[in-house]
Amino acid sequence: MKTRHLQILSFALALSTPVNIASAGDEKKPESSLEKITEFRQSEDDTLLAQQLQFLKKQTGSPSDKAKLICAILVEADKFLVNHERPKGTPALNIAPPGGGRSGVDPASVADPIERAAYQKLIDENKKLAETHRKHAAVAKIRDSAVNLLAVYRVNGLIDEAEVDAAIRQHEISEDQKIALGQLVKAATANKAQHPTDGAAEPEKPKE
């Protein structure tokens, strides 16, 4: 009798518990937004811009609206590169202790505390230089990808040159920078027209 009572109680609890019947396909796909793109100004996280560009390649919407966001990514990446010069010097694969010894050894293995501290400082500086190189290259790649994607849109007739120029000019950057970015897209468009199979896959034109 007790077992029967527990079974009834369990059944009642199961009925009262809400069940999430949404399938994986019902989940909203992540989309790019101007707010997310401009977060890069504070975070300088290159993966954020790269992610936003990937979202744009997949999300639906009018080519003109998407082009505006691509231009926003282009501008943010270019501003970073303008404000952060390419780092000088090449990071070492491994650092040797200042007092001599094998490169790449654990600082804890250096007996002298002063030498150990100096060695750790060299390691930290080298890591910082390596990260600076990596980030600069990553942001430059994002800028080039944005330019290439805009060129694909242009070649496919999804947007025109005036739309690209207008989208770039709405951002607070120098006149020289606006002209330079416009020229980058124009040159990439001309190259894409001559070599349509190079670079990013061409998006389908919207159906009439």
Tell which residue, 76, 38, 70, has the closest CA to residue 55: 70
> Does 12 reside within a domain?
no
Tokens of 102: 């094998």
Q: Residue 51 corresponds to which amino acid?
A: Q
Long-range contacts of 49-54, Cβ-Cβ distance < 8 Å, separation of 24 or more: 49/73, 49/76, 49/77, 49/139, 49/142, 50/138, 50/142, 53/142, 53/145, 53/146, 53/149
Task: Give the alpha-carbon dihedral of 195, 196, 197, 199, to 10 degrees.
Answer: 90
Measured at the alpha carbon of residue 33, what is the angle toward residues 146 and 51, in degrees to the nearest 5?
55
The reported pTM is 0.76
Provide the pLDDT for residue 198: 57
Provide the pLDDT for residue 101: 81
> Does 208 reside within a domain?
no
Residues 6+ apart with CB under 8 A from 29: 55, 58, 59
> Does 75 reside within a domain?
yes
Query: Using an 8 Å Cβ cutoff, are 53 and 73 in contact?
Result: yes
> Does 70 reside within a domain?
yes
> Does 147 reside within a domain?
yes
**How far is the C-alpha of 40 from the C-alpha of 83, rounded, in Å?**
13
Provide the pLDDT for residue 14: 40
> Does 6 reside within a domain?
no
What is the residue-level pLDDT of the chain in tens, covering all 208 positions? 444 444 443 434 343 444 343 344 445 567 788 999 999 999 999 999 999 999 988 888 889 999 999 999 999 999 999 999 888 889 999 999 988 888 999 999 999 999 999 999 999 999 999 999 999 999 999 999 999 999 999 999 999 999 999 999 999 888 999 999 999 999 999 998 887 665 444 444 444 3
> Does 203 reside within a domain?
no
Provide the pLDDT for residue 13: 38
Provide the pLDDT for residue 27: 52
> Does 14 reside within a domain?
no
**How far is the C-alpha of 70 from the C-alpha of 49, rounded, in Å?**
10
Query: What range defines the domain where residue 182 resides?
Result: 29-194
Taking the CA atoms of 72, 75, 77 and 83 in sequence, report the sign of the dihedral they define.
Answer: negative
Domains in the chain: how many in total? 1
